[in-house]
Chains A and B, each alone.
Chain A
């Protein structure tokens, strides 16, 4: 479903060249719950950004849904992200002037879903992520964990092909972080949504059904684990 093939990425920052990815290959099937683990600077963010079509590889291919991403225009990539990819960010990144409900329904508005359907789906999903009764709060009146639940709902609402979560627990305490992981895993079980999340936290990476270890821009190990 998603195929990453021999992807290289180098950053040039003045005199220094940083080889963030040095030939990464990875196949992700629908319904997987994949954790990408590695120390800081190992290339996790770079890999997720390339899979998420917000960054491009220097060489190598990424196929999404059988569709080669390399060579597509900025506009085409925008449309792919709009319809098929959900993001969860480390720092939640909600729009502060919008309520929880509006932050989530925004993603459906972008797809032109009618207000009635949008409302129904958004309310149901907010309840599913445990935010019933908090729909009309703005982010400033939500805890970090609650905000990240809104972000998860925002990523999920459009039934994306894949949800990419770059260190989704890094700004949360361990209990709250675990709860978010549990939530994502539940959704993965229920709905069959594909998740890739990155972390450098041992406890968190253990949630993955499959664990890829990244080190210095190379995949060090790739193992499936029984739930």
Chain B
């Protein structure tokens, strides 16, 4: 006789699917516990992913809004030397570049970045008498088109063009015991390397959502910086705000095209400007991956244990079914359906639970205030918010169902290797 004389997949498949679902109800407690483990895994995954995405988005936003813009034009080689704040590889003719960009309606803000020692006078102070900080000469009007600094003034006012004044962050002000109206002295070197001293007045204190800015940076009008540092019109960078929902979506290509005539400059995209974080983010992602793998293992161990028990306790039944001519493949499907059913219950509950957690993370956030006492390079402040990331939610649920189904194959395979007569004798 031929090997497979009968074919009617629907009737048969339907039968084994129905049987699998009935088998799910055999040990409700066990099914619920296993599905619960999967649900927790799915929910925690969804929640962590949401937080991580929120964290990255917030970090990116704070970088974009206060430090890097979406892209930047710098003198060739400047970026690699940025930690030393060199003044000798600037953008020499920013006005030409700015007028070209502005003709294309691209928001651009020039800045002069330099390092200096900040001394607050008339105030008790650390022995060495000064704090080294990064200073930025900013173009008051244009800066607000790219950066959000002017919206973050907490005391006093924002800078006004041409005045010999400075604004500093709340954290730094508290450290120095400084307030609005205090005079400060900044010592630095000019573009040509000569020592220079600036006397400035604190006119405003800002408090941004970027703690790095609040701690380490001070801002003054670009004309003042230009004059004291003898920049002769050059700037260290021109920052750009580009269209795109997220900073990371911004494409610097068109700007590169537009400025291809200019020598001695380069256009850096957001990824390049954030390369310091790529590594840290990777570590962060790796940490998350480890937790996810652990959760996955818990779910896999749970379901394989449950399915092993199901398969073993039904040995006699499996033997009977095989004697009746049920094919090995059909028995495999039956247990796969059953395990996938547990996975599906877990996935649905996990989705609901995960959605609630994400909703909380989006609406209320997680207070990292305590952590903020530790000096961190990440640009987020106090409360961390999640984001909705539906692809990861669906992926987690689908993954749970698939994994559960696949895991069931292991004990089933073991059982199908036994002889039918041995299984039948077992009771």
Residues on the A chain within 8 Å of B22, using CB: 97-98
Whether, in the assembled complex, B23 has its beta carbon less than 8 Å from a beta carbon of chain A, the answer is: yes
Judged by a CB distance under 8 angstroms, whether B391 is at the interface is no
In the complex, identify which listed stretch (B144-152, B247-255, B287-295, B314-322) lies at the interface while the others stay far away.
Answer: B314-322
Would B323 and A113 count as touching, CB distance under 8 A? no
Interchain nearest-CB distance for B312 vs A (Å): 16
Q: Are A49 and B421 in contact (CB under 8 A)?
A: yes
Q: By the criterion CB–CB under 8 Å, are B15 and A93 in contact? A: no
Q: B316 and A81: CB pair below 8 A?
A: no
Question: Contact at B23–A112, with CB atoms within 8 Å?
Answer: no
Stretch at the interface among B6-14, B48-56, B107-115, B234-242: B6-14
Q: Mark B1-39, 1 if CB is under 8 A from A, else 0.
A: 111111111011011000100110110000000000000
Q: Which residues of A contact B323 (CB under 8 A)?
A: 52, 54, 81, 87
Interface size class of chain B, counting residues whose CB lies under 8 Å from the partner chain: 20 to 34
* CB pair B11 A81 closer than 8 Å: no
Contacts of A83 in B (CB 8 A): 1, 5-6, 325
The 8 A CB mask of B283-313 against A (1 = contact, 0 = none) is 0000000000000000000000000000000
For chain A, the count of residues having a C-beta within 8 Å of the partner chain is 34
Docked Cα-Cα span, A166 to B14, in Å, equals 31
Which single residue of chain A is at the shortest CB-CB distance from B13? Answer: A109
Is A190 part of the contact surface with B, judged by Cβ < 8 Å?
Answer: no
- In the bound assembly, the distance between CA atoms of A81 and B4 in angstroms comes to 12
Contacts of A87 in B (CB 8 A): 320, 323-324
CB pair A54 B6 closer than 8 Å: no
Nearest CB to that of B2 among chain A residues? A79
Residue numbers in A under 8 Å from B232 (CB-CB): none
Which residues of chain B are within 8 angstroms of A49 by Cβ–Cβ distance?
421
The digit string for A63-97, where 1 denotes a CB below 8 A from any CB of B, is: 00001000000111011111101010101010111
Contact residue among B1, B26, B427 (Cβ-Cβ distance under 8 Å from A97):
B26
B322 with A112: CB separation less than 8 A = no
Residue of A nearest to B7 (CB): A112
Residues 76-130 (chain A) with a chain B CB within 8 angstroms: 76, 78-83, 85, 87, 89, 91, 93, 95-98, 106-107, 109-115, 118
**Nearest chain B CB to A115 CB, angstrom units:** 7
* Minimum CB–CB distance for A63 against chain B, Å: 13
Complex contacts, B326 vs chain A, CB 8 Å: 78, 82, 110
B420 adjacent to A55 (CB under 8 Å): yes
Query: Which of the residues A54, A98, A113, A115 comes within 8 Å of B420, measured between beta carbons?
Result: A54
CB 8 Å contact bits of A8-46 with B (1 = contact, 0 = none): 000000000000000000000000000000000000000
List residues of A whose CB falls within 8 A of some B CB.
Answer: 49, 52, 54-55, 67, 74-76, 78-83, 85, 87, 89, 91, 93, 95-98, 106-107, 109-115, 118, 154
Could you list 12 examples of A-B contacts with CB < 8 Å?
Answer: A54-B322, A78-B325, A78-B326, A78-B328, A82-B326, A83-B1, A107-B324, A110-B12, A110-B15, A112-B12, A114-B8, A154-B324
